C-alpha cells in the first residue's frame, strides 16, 4: 500500500527508530511499511495517524487496485 510515511517522518525530523519507539513497534516494521513491503494492522495505522495528528487516509492511499 502506498504511503506518505517517509515524508511525514522527514517533516517532523524523526528517524525510523524514533517513530517506531513512539508507536510501540520495531524500526524494521517502520522500514517495511515505508518500503511498501508490509501493510500495517488497523491498530498501528490508527497509532500512526494519532501520532501525526491526521487521518489514516492522509498517510495511506486507500485506492484499491485490481489484483
| Structural domain contains residue 65 | no
Q: Considering the entire predicted model, what is its pTM? A: 0.90
Residue 66 lies in a domain: no
Question: Range of 10's domain?
Answer: 5-53
Residue 13 belongs to some domain of the structure: yes
- State the CATH number of the domain containing residue 15: 1.10.260.40
Name the nearest CA neighbour of 20 among 8, 10, 30, 34. Answer: 30
pLDDT of residue 62: 78
What's the pLDDT at 46?
A: 98
Whether 67 maps to a domain, the answer reads no
Residue 43 lies in a domain: yes
Structural domains in the chain (count): 1
Whether the CB-CB separation of 23 and 48 falls below 8 Å is answered with yes
To the nearest 10 degrees (0 to 180), the angle between helices 16-23 and 42-52 is 110
Residue 29 is assigned to a structural domain of this protein: yes
Q: Tell me 19's DSSP state.
A: H
* Structure confidence by residue, pLDDT tens digits, 2-57: 999 999 999 999 999 999 999 999 999 999 999 999 999 999 999 999 999 999 99
Amino acid at each position: 500500500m502506498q504511503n506518505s510515511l517517509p515524508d511525514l517522518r522527514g517533516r517532523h525530523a524523526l528517524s525510523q527508530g524514533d517513530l517506531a519507539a513512539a508507536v510501540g513497534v520495531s524500526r524494521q516494521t517502520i522500514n517495511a511499511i515505508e518500503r511498501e513491503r508490509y501493510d500495517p494492522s488497523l491498530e498501528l495505522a490508527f497509532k500512526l495517524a494519532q501520532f501525526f495528528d491526521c487521518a489514516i487516509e492522509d498517510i495511506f492511499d486507500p485506492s484499491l487496485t485490481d489484483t
